[in-house]
Amino acid sequence: MNAFFKIVGKIVDWFEVAILSIGVFILAALLIANVIARNFFRSIYYAEELSMILVIIITFVGLSYAVRKARHIRMGAIFDALNPKVQKVALYVIAGYSAFIMFFMSYYAYHYVATARMTMQVTSSLRIPYWMIVVIVIVGFFMAGVQYIRTIIKNIYEDEVWLSPEQQSEYEAEG
């Protein structure tokens, strides 16, 4: 079972890195092309809308990635000053609460997407159904919640403190 989760983890990692890399590249190229086009010809009419779509995708795919790699905002100085047993307890509480919030936000995002789908909103330039764009919000929040649950499980089975399923605590006791 552990091998299965490692394979799934690698696939998810590859997917997230690919989406983030390609998204940032396309966003940068689009914005640069639009600046050049605006100065010499005419602005690219769909550039702002496509940029908005890319920012939404990058933000919510990046949310899960940041949790999995422990690259999210945390109180490192306070946390590192605690002894390892207290760190474990703090991680259970923090990761549990964070997972709850992520799943809660995913639930509300689902209702938002359902409402957007019922109203049949489309983007102004590209005429893409709006719900198809914001569905990534549900996925991002849900996957971040899963990563927090994985952090709790990793800390239950390991003796060391793990900040995320893939990142062990950097704290080293002096002595």
User: Residue 42 has what pLDDT?
Assistant: 81
* pLDDT averaged per 10 residues, the chain (length 175): 76 88 92 86 84 92 86 71 81 90 95 91 86 92 90 83 71 46
Residues near 82 by beta carbon (within 8 Å), at least 6 away in sequence: 90
User: Residue 175 has what pLDDT?
Assistant: 42
**Tokens 């999210």 found at:** 72
| Domain locations along the chain | 2-168
- Phi, psi at 125, each rounded to 5°: -90, -55
User: Residue 75 has what pLDDT?
Assistant: 66
